[in-house]
A and B are shown apart, each in its own frame.
Chain A
Amino acid sequence: MIWLNQVIQGVLLGGYYALIACGLSFMFGVMRIINLSHGDLGILAAFLVWAIVEHSGMSPFVALALVLPVMGALGWLLQRTMLERSLRAGVLVPLLTTFGLAIVIQNLLFLEFGADIRSLAPAIGDLAYDSWGIGSHIYVGHLAALIFLVAVLMLGGLQLMLARTPLGRSIRAIAEDPDTAELVGIDSRRVYAAAAAIAVMTVAVGGTFLGMRATFSPYAGPAQLIFAFEAVVIGGIGSMWGTLAGGIVLGVAQNLGAQIAPNGFLIAGHAAFLLALGARLARHRLKGLA
C-alpha cells in the first residue's frame, strides 16, 4: 500500500513537472532554443504573486491573474531584446545569454526579497492540506489534484491552440521552416515573440503552484529548470502529451527513490532521466546501423 501511495503521489507530482516543463518544450519546439533562465522566470512570477498577496491580502489565484500579463509582456520583451539577436548568432549564443540572464534574475530577486524561504501555502487556507482519503493509506491532496488538472488543461490548451488557431498555424509553419513561412507572409518576429510570451506565462503558472505546494527562494530556479528539462527529455522533446508522461515518470521515479532511501528522491529522478536519454541514444544508433 505504501508503494501504491508513492506511485499515486508521483503521478500527481508529475502534473507539477509537466506544468513547469511545457513552456520549455514549447519554446524548444518553436525556436530550437533551450532557455536556461526558464526556472528563474517561474520563481520570479512566484515572488511577484507573493508580494501582491503580502501587500493586499488577495487570493494568490487573483494575484496570478494580475501577474500573468506582466510575465507575458516580459517574455515578449525578452524575445525582442535578447533572444532574437542570440538566435541569429548561432546555436550556442542563446545558451550563454539565457544563462547570464538566469544569474541576473536570481541575484536581483535576492537583493529585493532576501534569502528567506517563502511559501504561498498560508494564503490558500484549507486547499494547502485538504485531501480525499482512499482506503486507510492513500490520500490525494486537493491541491495536488488541482495542479494535475491545470497541467492537463494547459497542455490541452496549447495543443488546441497549435492545431486550431491562426497563431498556432503560424507557429507550426515557422517551426517547420522559418524561411518558407516568411515567404508566404508570416512575420516570424511576431510569432517568435508570441511564442516566448506564451512560454513565460506557462512557467509563471508553474512557479506560482510551486509556491502553493512547497517553498521557494531566489536561487530555486535552476532546480526547477533541471526538473522541467528532465521531464521534457524523458517524454520526448517537442511533444506536449509526452511532456506530461515524462513528468509522471520523473515524479514516480523520485517518490519510489525516496521510499528506498532518504536521499533517493533526487538520485532516482536523475537516474531515470539518464536511462531515458541513454535508451533514446541507443535507439538512434540502432536506426543508424540499419
Chain B
Amino acid sequence: MSGRAALAIQRWTPQSVAAVAVLGVLALVLALGPLFLDANAIDRLTTLFIYIILAVMWNALAGYGGLVSVGQQAFFGLGAYAAIRLSSFGLPVYPALVLGGLLAGLVALALSSFALRLRGGEFAIGMWVLAELFHLLVNLDHLINGETGISLIALNAFGPEARRDYNYWLALGAMVALAALVFSLLRGRLGSSVQAIRDSEEAAASLGVRVLAAKRILFVVAGAGCGLAGALYLATAISFQPAGYFSVQWTAYMIFMALVGGLGTFEGPILGAVVFFVLESVFGASGVWYLVGLGATAVVFALYLPRGLWGTLEERFGIRLLPVGYRVTTRRPAPGEPASR
C-alpha cells in the first residue's frame, strides 16, 4: 500500500449503473404488459409482484435490521381487513386498498415501542402472538362474519378485464415504489446504522447510532409493505377469510424467499421470490410434499448457504448490481472491468 491517496470509496460501479438502467427499462416494459400479455400472464405476474414485496420487506427486517419476525402475517391480514373496512365506509375501492395497506404501517408504528424492545426469539414469537391476537380481534368485527369472511364487493364496479389490469399496475407500482424506498433507505444513513446494529447492538449504540429509531423505520416500512401486499392479494382474490390472511404460512413464504435468495443482500429476496414463484408454479400442485420441500430447503440454506443464491454469486463473481454498501478500492476500476474486491 503506497499511500492513502490511492484509496477510494466506491458506491456505484459501472455494472450497477447499467443494472439500474436495465431495471428501469424493465419496469417500463412491464408497465406496458397489459398491451401484449394474455390474461393468465397478467394474473401470474401480479402474484409475483406481491411475493417480491413480501420478500423485500422481510429481508429489510431480518437481513438488515436483525429482526426475525414470525408474525408479519399480522400486517398482511390487517392491510386486507382495513381495505374491507374503508370500502364499507364508502371509500372508493382502489383508494381503500392503498390506504388500507398503508394503515398496517400505522399499526406497526403503534406497536414498535413495545415490539422492538423484545430480543431475538422473544421478538420472533412475540410478533406471532400479536398476529394471532389481531386475527381474533378482526373476527370480533361483525362485518367479517367470523371465519366465513366477506368479499370486497365494491370491486364489482369494474369489469374483470379492467380489474385485472388495475390490480397488475397497482402491484407493479407498489413493488417498484417499495423496492426503491428500501434501496434508498439502505443506501443512506439508515443503511449504515442498521448494519452496525445487526453486527453489534451495544457497539453501535456506543458510537451514537440511535438503535430504536433505526429499527423503527424498518419495522414501519415492513409493516406498511406487508399490509399493502395483503390489500393487493385481496384485490386479486376478492374474498377475505381471516384464517387465510392471518396464516403463519405467509411468513413461512417470506422466510423461504429471503433465505434462498440471500438474506442481507438487496437483490437476493427478489431472486428468491422469482425462485419461489417458479417452484410454486411447477410443484405447487403436489401439495404437502411441496411444503415439506420448502421447509427442508429453508433449513439447508440457513445452515449451508446463509448468504443465499445471490450472496453466493456475489461473492464468487464480485457482482454488485444494486449496491447498498460502501467498498474501499485502491483505484477506480476502468469501465467494463470487474470491480476489485
Contact = CB atoms under 8 A, between A and B. Distances in A.
Interface in A94-125: 95-97, 99-104, 106-108, 110-111
A225 B248 CA distance: 13
A101 B70 CA distance: 14
B259 A96 contact: yes
A86 B303 contact: yes
Contacts of B303: 82, 85-86, 89, 93, 97
Given A103-B298, A270-B129, A233 B68 contact: no
Contacts of B70: 36, 95, 99
Contact of B120 (A34, A226, A274, A277): A34
Contact of B302 (A34, A93, A263, A270): A93
Interface string A242-272: 0000000000000000000001001100110
* Dominant secondary structure at the B interface: helix
Interface of B: 62, 66, 68, 70, 114, 117-118, 120-122, 124-126, 128-130, 132-133, 136-137, 139-140, 248, 252, 255, 259, 288-289, 291-292, 294-299, 302-303, 306
Contacts of B114: 274, 277-278, 281
A281 B252 contact: no
21 contacts: A36-B70, A36-B121, A86-B303, A95-B120, A100-B298, A101-B299, A103-B252, A104-B292, A107-B291, A107-B295, A110-B288, A111-B292, A226-B125, A226-B128, A229-B125, A229-B129, A263-B139, A266-B132, A273-B129, A278-B114, A281-B117
Contacts of B255: 96, 99-100
A28 interface: yes
A2 interface: no
Contacts of B126: 277
B256 to A, nearest CB: 8
B125 A104 contact: no
A281 B136 CA distance: 25
B291 A226 contact: no
A267 B136 contact: yes
Nearest to A105: B295
A95 B124 contact: yes
B302 A96 contact: yes
A222 interface: yes
B302 A86 contact: yes
A222 B70 CA distance: 11
A91 interface: yes
Contacts of B288: 107, 110-111
B296 A100 contact: yes
Contacts, number: 115
Contact of A108 (B120, B132, B248, B292): B292
Contacts of A104: 292, 295-296, 299
- Minimum-distance CB pairs A-B, first 9: A34-B121, A103-B295, A100-B298, A100-B299, A104-B295, A96-B302, A270-B133, A107-B291, A107-B292
Contacts of A92: 62, 66, 68, 120
Given A34-B120, A104-B292, A263-B140, A99 B252 contact: yes
A234 to B, nearest CB: 12
Given A36-B70, A36-B124, A91-B120, A270 B132 contact: yes
A82 B299 contact: yes
Contacts of B132: 226, 266, 270
Given A86-B302, A86-B303, A96 B68 contact: yes
Contacts of B66: 92
A222 B73 CA distance: 14
Nearest to A104: B295
Nearest to B139: A263
A278 B113 CA distance: 10
A214 to B, nearest CB: 18
A34 B124 contact: yes
B67 to A, nearest CB: 9
B257 to A, nearest CB: 12
Nearest to B128: A226
A211 B102 CA distance: 42
Contacts of A226: 125, 128-129, 132
A143 interface: no
A255 to B, nearest CB: 16
Nearest to B258: A96
Interface in A171-214: none
A33 B294 contact: no
Contacts of A263: 136, 139-140
A278 B118 CA distance: 10
Contacts of A34: 120-122, 124-125
Interface in A210-232: 222, 225-226, 229-230
A277 B118 contact: yes
Nearest to A92: B68
A110 B136 CA distance: 25
A271 to B, nearest CB: 8
B45 to A, nearest CB: 27
Given A86-B302, A263-B136, A263-B139, 6 more contacts: A82-B303, A99-B255, A222-B128, A229-B125, A281-B117, A281-B118
A28 B259 CA distance: 24
A13 B125 CA distance: 21
